[in-house]
Structure 1
Amino acid sequence: MQILFLTDNFPPEVNAPARRTYEHCRRWVKLGAKVTVLTCAPNFPGGQVYNGYHNRIYQEEFLEGIRVVRVWSYISPNRGFLPRIADYLSFALSAVVVGLFKKSDLIIATSPQFFTAPAGWLLSLFKRKPWIFEVRDLWPESIIAVGALPRGRLIQALEWLELFLYHRADRIVALTDAFKLNMTNRGVKAAKIFVIKNGVDLTEFAPTPKDQNLAQQLGLTGKFVVCYIGTHGMAHKLDFILRCAAHLDRQDQTHFLLVGDGAEKENLLALKKQLRLTNVSMLEAVPRHEAARYLALADAALVPLKKTPTFKTVIPSKIFESAAMQKPILLGVDGEARALVEQYQAGLYFEPENESAFLNQLRMLKDNKALQESLMQGCRSLAAAFDRDKLAESMFEVLKGVCPSSISSLGR
Structure 2
Amino acid sequence: MRLLYLHQHYSAPEGATATRSHALAHALIRRGHSVTLACGRYEGAVTGLEGGFRHGRREGASEGLRLVEFDIPCGNAQGFAARGAAFGRYAARAARLALAGEWDLVIASSTPLTVALPALLARRLRGTPFLFEIRDPWPELPRAMGGVPGWALAGMEHLANAACRRAAAVVALSEGMAQTALNRGAAPEQVHVVPNGCDLDLFGPHIPAWRPVEAAPWEMLAVYAGAHGRANGLEQVLDAAALLMARGEHRIRLLLVGEGSEKPRLQAEATARGLHNVSFMPPLGKRRLASLLAGAQCGIHCLAPVAAFAEWTAPNKLMDYLAAGLPVVSNLPGQGERLLASQGPMGPCGMATPPGDATALADALAWMAANPSQRLAMGHAARDQAVRRWDRRLLARHFVAVAEAAARPSPLPSLVAA
TM-score of the two chains, using structure 1 as the length reference: 0.90
Q: In structure 2, what is the Cα distance between the partners aligned to 1:167 and 1:209?
A: 44
The SS at the match of 1:119 is helix
Instruction: Report if the CA contact (8 A) 1:45-1:263 is conserved.
Output: no
Report the alpha carbon displacement of residue 381 of structure 1 after superposing the two structures with TM. Answer: 2.4
Structure 1 residues 404 and 186 mapped into 2: Cα distance closer, same or farther (>3 Å)?
closer
Q: In structure 1, what is the Cα distance between the partners aligned to 2:75 and 2:332?
A: 31
Q: In structure 2, what is the Cα distance between the partners aligned to 1:205 and 1:274?
A: 35
Correspondence for 2:164:
166
The one-letter code sitting in structure 1 at the alignment partner of 2:396 is: A
The one-letter code sitting in structure 2 at the alignment partner of 1:325 is: A
- Whether 1:403 aligns to 2:407 is yes
Correspondence for 1:184:
182
Correspondence for 1:43:
42
Map 1:78-89 onto structure 2 (within 5 A): 79-89=78-88
**Aligned equivalent of 2:295, options 287, 297, 301:** 297
Instruction: Report if the CA contact (8 A) 1:133-1:169 is conserved.
Output: yes
Instruction: Report if the CA contact (8 A) 1:223-1:254 is conserved.
Output: yes
Q: In structure 1, what is the Cα distance between the partners aligned to 2:394 and 2:220?
A: 34
Correspondence for 2:192:
194
Instruction: Report if the CA contact (8 A) 1:140-1:158 is conserved.
Output: yes
Q: In structure 2, what is the Cα distance between the partners aligned to 1:81 and 1:127?
A: 33
Correspondence for 1:316:
315
Correspondence for 1:381:
384
Correspondence for 1:15:
17
The one-letter code sitting in structure 2 at the alignment partner of 1:349 is: A
**Aligned equivalent of 1:353, options 351, 356, 364:** 356
Structure 1 residues 55 and 7 mapped into 2: Cα distance closer, same or farther (>3 Å)?
farther
Correspondence for 2:414:
none
Correspondence for 1:409:
none
Structure 1 residues 64 and 175 mapped into 2: Cα distance closer, same or farther (>3 Å)?
same
Unpaired runs of 5+ in structure 2? Answer: 411-418
Q: In structure 2, what is the Cα distance between the partners aligned to 1:329 and 1:283?
A: 20
Report the alpha carbon displacement of residue 402 of structure 1 after superposing the two structures with TM. Answer: 1.6
**Aligned equivalent of 1:220, options 206, 216, 222:** 216
Q: In structure 2, what is the Cα distance between the partners aligned to 1:77 and 1:172?
A: 26
Report the alpha carbon displacement of residue 208 of structure 1 after superposing the two structures with TM. Answer: 4.2
Correspondence for 1:58:
57
Q: In structure 2, what is the Cα distance between the partners aligned to 1:7 and 1:253?
A: 42
Q: Percent identity?
A: 26
Structure 1 residues 209 and 33 mapped into 2: Cα distance closer, same or farther (>3 Å)?
closer
The one-letter code sitting in structure 1 at the alignment partner of 2:240 is: C
Unpaired runs of 5+ in structure 1? Answer: 407-412
Q: In structure 2, what is the Cα distance between the partners aligned to 1:78 and 1:326?
A: 31
Report the alpha carbon displacement of residue 405 of structure 1 after superposing the two structures with TM. Answer: 6.0
Correspondence for 2:243:
247
CA deviation string 1:304-346 (max 9, x = no partner): 1111121011221112111111100101111112112211511
Structure 1 residues 103 and 28 mapped into 2: Cα distance closer, same or farther (>3 Å)?
same
Instruction: Report if the CA contact (8 A) 1:224-1:253 is conserved.
Output: yes
Q: In structure 1, what is the Cα distance between the partners aligned to 2:200 and 2:372?
A: 25
CA deviation string 1:265-298 (max 9, x = no partner): 1111111122121111101111222110111221
The one-letter code sitting in structure 2 at the alignment partner of 1:14 is: A
Correspondence for 1:3:
3
The one-letter code sitting in structure 1 at the alignment partner of 2:172 is: A
Report the alpha carbon displacement of residue 75 of structure 1 after superposing the two structures with TM. Answer: 5.3
The SS at the match of 2:211 is helix
The SS at the match of 1:309 is coil
Instruction: Report if the CA contact (8 A) 1:301-1:328 is conserved.
Output: yes
